[in-house]
Structure 1
Amino acid sequence: MPPWNDDDAASTELVPGPLRPAAAAAESFALSVMAGPDEGRRFTVAPGLPARVLAGTSPACDIPLTDRLVSRRHAAFELAGARLRVTDLGSTNGTFVQGIRVGDAYLQGSELVRIGETVLRVEALGVTQAAELSRAVRFGKLVGASEEMRRLYPLCERLAASSVPVVIEGETGTGKEVLAEAIHEQGSRAAGPFVVFDCTAVPPTLVESALFGHERGAFTGANETRRGVFEEAHGGTLLLDEIGDLDLGLQAKLLRAIQRSEVQRVGSNKWIRVDIRVLAATRRDLEREIQAGRFRDDLFFRLAVARIELPPLRRRRGDVTVLAHHFWRQLADRGAPFPQGFAERLEDYDWPGNVRELYNAVARRVALGEAAPIETSRAGLASAGAP
């Protein structure tokens, strides 16, 4: 478990009164098929839907099309305030807005978007009421009172109550493992184990054994039979951290294990049944990884039954101060006052390392006092002049 979260809260904590209005307003858009094999169909992009609405010929896309010139995952549409952002996902035949090929573009309504032979007319539907904002300031050990986080908490609660696989996306240091553990702790498998497998931490030659286990003598150095993380997580939850870094060849074996709920240890011909919930986390854009041939689309669709995108700290307005006080209470001597002016200095920094970097900055301040630099890149410098 990351060191920058405490162990004293296993459920959502509510604030005593409203922080901001209970709901936020946002624009909605309609995409009408004006030409192509699916002419006449209409799709909506609105608050409360997935963060990214995918268009393509894959039946798993939110906008499934039958146009043979459209790629399986051709383009993504997502709300961006009062505009709609369209992003080409490395398609074969490109995405065009008003006749111009684009990598991504922001739309306001009335534009024509062409993918393959399909022409979509963008229509702004006006301001609608977004999903309700939670009054919680944390979900399990994941702390945050910003609108970005409070919009996530209701979704997290619903997913914790379910058993479907979830892909948690976000930059390094945003708290993906912390969120995964909170989902486990608030779900029906809370009494079972929570096992984390970091796909980047094991040498490629040992990943299969680490996942599925091995028999004694299966390979050089296999001096005893060992269970893999699938067996260790039986009755609980397995988090596949940084799933986007898993070797393509092993992805097929992983898919088989998830689909069949059984594993085969290296060196054995017997199948072992496992009862687990699988969560996955990644800092990568898996849709682009699929287009680049580095990630299997069938594994993606098996894992991404639901998706949660954790925002970077720079987008979580007000959470730097909230988290700094939270970490100070964890790290400083009981009763030690929070330093005057410290929060303002923290708010002026953009935190490329996200919550993990903020935790380190607070820990340095506790240890070194006013001489502590804020930026991680300067942590080893002798200079006392923090930015």
Structure 2
Amino acid sequence: MTRESVPETQVEAHDRRPVASFRLVCTEGPERGRSFTVSADATGRVLVGSSSACAIKLADPLVSRRHAALEVHGPSLHVTDLGSKNGTFTNEVAIVEASLWGGETLRLGGTSFRVDVEDEISTAPVSDQSRFGRLIGSSRTMRRLYPFFEQLAASSLPLLIEGDTGTGKELLAESLHEAGPRANGPFVVFDGAQTAAGAIEPTLFGDGSRAGIFEQADGGSLLLDEVGELDAQVQRKLLRVLERGEVQRGGTNEARKVDVRILASTRLDLDKLVQEGAFREDLYYRLVVSRVELPPLRKRSGDVAELARHFWRELGGAGEPSSTLLTQLARHPWPGNVRELKNRIARLVAFGSEEELAPPISTQTPAAPAQGELAAPVRGGLAAPVRGEAAAHAVVADVMHATLFERVLAKDLPLARARELVVNEFEKAYVERVLAQHGGSVAKAAAASGLARRYFQLLRAKRSPRG
């Protein structure tokens, strides 16, 4: 049977009030008679599988080590298959991901559950603060996490920070460091995605007389950003450092003791990488002593306007953003999350205009091209029809070309400054698009761009500042 993503159909037929938790009652399989609770107060996804690392461990031989992930989203239980061998099924339909509302049957391998809604009120503490360190947000989603962040800050245990690109993983890591007992020590960041392959080992572990990042972070905290990007050899050496608490520089035989709190972050599904054999399971156990998942901006109701005002003031915007602008911002889905919002505000402040948030571009033309075709607009008439996705890109590119040029020209700037603004915008858009086309892989994006990886990394860092 082909697996599919089950759409959230007939949502209106369900009670849309958020629920505190769901109970999985095992009706078939080795765990028959047992029940498991998945709470809305969980600070990340609840893993189900045969591995001892899973919160819900099943003795079923047909269940993969990391079979599926569960998470309460408001009124529904979101289920994601993690690439299991024998599949995940809801009401006997094979799925990749689905939203359950209570009353369904969920089957993993040979184990079946009845999904029940539990209506008791959540007792988890909710902070009355509007921020934690460098993270800003008054939404209940964020305020529910702040007490947990305070607990994490007081600890020296390793932590895995998960979340989509731009959700603020590095900001959280730095905030935890600044609020913890190591605040007077160094906070060092290693970016596994932006470091050239040949430079990773000497950068991390040192080389000859040069200290690596582990030694630089001694007495403080080290953020291993995009840890899922590390290759097998680096993973092996990293595991050794974590196990022994010592590092050996390249080209030497001397082991040096280091006292470092490890904070790891990733936008990738580390559980799935372990399942596929792309990430060492023993290293996974060392890193995932604690874990937290930062929510995407679209799930942080009310935070968009608050963040927009903050960035507007921080970037030197005149006055305050208008209510019209804030309304438009709140309606945007923000796939790039907080980083995308900050970049958008930066462009608005720089151009002194709210034109950046024009209504969605229509892909309809006065003429009626054949099905699947779209005439690309050019000044003075219509060009030859362009097909499929390329058609939409042609329309967007033409409109962006016109509005960008018009805004820059309207500023009456010297040629050099005007050219700089146009080039900056183009490079930023180019980097974002080519990275998106290649799943965030710097190596693939650099190759497709015809640039050396190191130069592409520099361009990315220059044009896409972290959110």
**Residue-by-residue CA offset, 1:41-61 (whole Å, 9 max, x unaligned):** 321111323421111111111
Change (3 A) 1:42 1:324: same
Q: Is the partner of 2:112 in helix, strand or coil?
A: strand
Question: d(CA) in 1 for partners of 2:302 and 2:135?
Answer: 15
Please give the residue correspondences for 1:184-195 in structure 2 after superposition, counting only pairs within 5 Å: 184-195=177-188
**1:163 to 2:156 alignment:** yes
**1:234 to 2:218 alignment:** yes
Which residue matches 1:337? 319
Question: d(CA) in 2 for partners of 1:86 and 1:360?
Answer: 32
Question: d(CA) in 2 for partners of 1:382 and 1:349?
Answer: 24
**1:315 to 2:322 alignment:** no
Question: d(CA) in 1 for partners of 2:404 and 2:244?
Answer: 53
Alpha-carbon contact 2:76-2:101 (below 8 Å) kept: yes
Question: d(CA) in 2 for partners of 1:260 and 1:51?
Answer: 29
One-letter code aligned to 1:261: G
**1:382 to 2:409 alignment:** no
Say which of 13, 19, 35 aligns to 1:26: 19
Alpha-carbon contact 1:89-1:288 (below 8 Å) kept: yes
Which residue matches 2:333? 350
> What TM-score does the superposition give when structure 1 sets the normalisation length?
0.84
Say which of 259, 266, 271 aligns to 1:282: 266
Question: d(CA) in 1 for partners of 2:85 and 2:44?
Answer: 24
Which residue matches 1:294? 278
Change (3 A) 1:372 1:102: closer
Change (3 A) 1:203 1:124: same
Offset, 1:292: 2.9
Greater percentage in helix? 2
* Structure possessing the higher relative contact order (Cα contacts under 8 Å, 6 or more residues apart): 1
**1:96 to 2:79 alignment:** no
**Residue-by-residue CA offset, 1:206-251 (whole Å, 9 max, x unaligned):** 2111111111xxxxxxxxx111111110000000011111112211
Question: d(CA) in 1 for partners of 2:93 and 2:321?
Answer: 53
Which residue matches 2:107? 114
**Residue-by-residue CA offset, 1:265-286 (whole Å, 9 max, x unaligned):** 1112222111010001111111
Which residue matches 2:229? 245
Question: d(CA) in 2 for partners of 1:73 and 1:195?
Answer: 31
Offset, 1:90: 0.6
Offset, 1:381: 2.2
Deviates more, 1:204-213 or 1:247-256: 247-256
Offset, 1:372: 5.8
Deviates more, 1:373-382 or 1:316-325: 373-382
Which residue matches 2:364? none
Offset, 1:348: 3.3
Which residue matches 1:258? 242
Say which of 369, 373, 387 aligns to 2:352: 369
Change (3 A) 1:180 1:39: same
One-letter code aligned to 1:226: R
Q: Is the partner of 1:59 in helix, strand or coil?
A: coil
Question: d(CA) in 2 for partners of 1:358 and 1:106?
Answer: 28
Structure 2 residue runs without a partner (length 5+)? 1-16, 359-395, 409-467
For this pair of structures, how many residues does the alignment match?
Answer: 351
Question: d(CA) in 2 for partners of 1:359 and 1:266?
Answer: 40
One-letter code aligned to 2:77: L
Report the RMSD for the aligned CA atoms in angstroms: 2.3
Q: Is the partner of 2:19 in helix, strand or coil?
A: strand
Question: d(CA) in 2 for partners of 1:381 and 1:295?
Answer: 43
Q: Is the partner of 1:366 in helix, strand or coil?
A: helix
Change (3 A) 1:114 1:362: closer
Larger Rg: 2
**Residue-by-residue CA offset, 1:6-45 (whole Å, 9 max, x unaligned):** xxxxxxxxxxxxxxxxxx9623222223332233332111
Offset, 1:371: 6.4
Question: d(CA) in 2 for partners of 1:352 and 1:282?
Answer: 16
Question: d(CA) in 1 for partners of 2:101 and 2:311?
Answer: 41
Question: d(CA) in 2 for partners of 1:101 and 1:153?
Answer: 37
Question: d(CA) in 1 for partners of 2:297 and 2:105?
Answer: 35
Say which of 45, 48, 57 aligns to 2:41: 48
Alpha-carbon contact 1:364-1:372 (below 8 Å) kept: no
Question: d(CA) in 2 for partners of 1:35 and 1:365?
Answer: 57
Q: Is the partner of 2:52 in helix, strand or coil?
A: coil
One-letter code aligned to 1:286: L
Please give the residue correspondences for 1:7-156 in structure 2 after superposition, counting only pairs within 5 Å: 26-129=19-122, 131-156=124-149
Structure 1 residue runs without a partner (length 5+)? 1-23, 216-224
One-letter code aligned to 2:21: S
Change (3 A) 1:345 1:170: same
Say which of 203, 206, 215 aligns to 2:199: 206
Alpha-carbon contact 2:76-2:99 (below 8 Å) kept: yes
One-letter code aligned to 1:351: W
Q: Is the partner of 2:116 in helix, strand or coil?
A: strand
One-letter code aligned to 2:192: C
Give the fraction of aligned pairs with identical amino acids, expressed as a percent: 51
> After TM superposition, which residue ranges in structure 1, 4 or more long, deviate above 6 angstroms?
none
One-letter code aligned to 1:71: S
Change (3 A) 1:384 1:97: same
Which residue matches 1:220? none
Offset, 1:147: 1.7
> What TM-score does the superposition give when structure 2 sets the normalisation length?
0.70
